[in-house]
Chain A
């Protein structure tokens, strides 16, 4: 499987702040990029997908993609305690997903 690296955690942010998550990938042929959220004891749930360079916003979440730098990021604005979870970056190549190790985010009330 292709390599996917995420910034090491855990990441602790105060409520209302911005949480910034980073991800780099090794395969330039990758075309589709995803962020999944995984609560403890639960399976991953999709929160964002991005296919083109630039920003994509969905509510409080913004994904950024830079294919030249092989870099994907996720910003969580106005962080809430319910955002406390592990965030997994996933990169698709040839219909298969490779996952990063995940970044655990804790939002302090």
Chain B
């Protein structure tokens, strides 16, 4: 597996503002993803963070609201823009293909960061 860190671990923000969440991995990974977990709910994939190109967003999520960067194989950011109370959630990054391996098998496993707990007032 890999050691994944996220910053900030939690934040309280005012509506209309934006927050950028960072995800750092201690080794190169093939793929990085961003998920949202709303209170009492399961995980929903927001987007796949692609290195050197635009992220791939899932249905219901758009780049203007959740811009994502991935400048290299160990780092990604997710910005939650123009926040409203409905954005209060846990945001998690996950990684896959530790060591740059992408073949089927254990390297397909996704590992999750500790999450960022966001409360929007």
> Which residues of A are at the interface with B, using a C-beta cutoff of 8 A?
1, 31-32, 34, 36, 42-46, 49, 51, 88, 90, 92, 95-102
Contact = CB atoms under 8 A, between A and B. Distances in A.
A46 B111 contact: yes
Contact of A95 (B43, B90, B96, B112): B96
Contacts of B104: 31-32, 51
B118 to A, nearest CB: 14
Interface residues of B, number: 26
Contacts of A43: 90, 92, 112-115
A37 B9 CA distance: 20
Interface string B33-46: 10000000111110
Contacts of B44: 1, 99
B96 A49 contact: no
